[in-house]
Structure 1
Amino acid sequence: MIDDLALRRLLSGIARGDEDMFAELYDLTSPKLFGLILRIQRDRALAEDVLQDAYLRIWQSAGSYAPDAGRPMPWLGTIARNRAIDSVRKAEVRRAVGDVGEDWEARLIDPRDDAATFRDRDALAVCLGRLDAAHRDCVVRAYCEGLSREELARLHDRPVNTIKTWLHRSIAALKACLEEVS
């Protein structure tokens, strides 16, 4: 068991920029925090990166630790846990966006299309290509795959209202672009 008073003293020193106290805190707490992160992240190399990120956040946030708000180890654990969860979510988004990747145009093709439809599809592809990648992904997934705003929000780790705004603005931009291109 790590002594709360020692951790509070170390966090106070870190808040003042004491690098030696930061090194001491790392030595005392990194095995526990690494274990916590590894249970969430499951990839040892990525867990090591998340641990480094967590300690960077601890260094930056030590001044915000309030001893009367709770014990220091759970506070440290919360930072580590949140960094690990963020890392997992970002990896999921990268994989999902990577799934759409460069073949988003292929999702628009229907072999039964006639020549006029091909021209319309080409114009749509040009206009979609002008959108931000994340916004384009939302539009393609919503309209070609039927994903809901809530599903897109989870996928992109954004609030539902942000996704709603992205879709609204992207559709408006597509409409204006299609009028210009056609």
Structure 2
Amino acid sequence: MTTPADIEKMIAQIALRDHSAFSALYDATSRKLFGVCLRVLNNRSEAEEVLQEIYARIWHKADSYAVTGHSPMTWLITLARNLAIDRLRTRKTPTKDIDTVVDLADDRPGPEAEAIASSERARIEACMDELEAARADAVRRAYLSGETYKELAARHGVPLNTMRTWLRRSLQKLRDCLTR
């Protein structure tokens, strides 16, 4: 595990243009800094670009890092956060990560599906016409309007169990009609 003292030493060596220290700092800190950028920007490709800017800035400005007793990660995270916020402010339009893009495809059925649905509706209506008018009305109200058996029984002036029988037998007749 890399300690704050190790990171401070790497930054000091980077100020002297030590490539191996730069590589070690990248390995030790890039995940954390990328996470900061990704949280701010919510866009993977922009976060990757900002991460590159961060390390370019570290390479060029390592000599400006002053040991203050605070964690050197605080300096790096502040740098990452500020650059990510700068990128966020310069966006012309808000962007979304590929994972969060809404599918804009048209969900409406195509002409073939509409023709099939229309044909099915016509078959169902023809079968409904074979039922007695009161029973067809009860089926429509129960299964299309959501009325309860109790409400239907009161509407049609029949006992509750009679309404249940009407609906059960009507559904059986509809099934038989639709399978012909």
* Structure with the higher helix share, 1 or 2: 1
TM-score, length of structure 2 as denominator length: 0.50
Bigger-Rg structure (1/2): 2
**TM-score of the superposed pair, with normalisation by structure 1:** 0.49
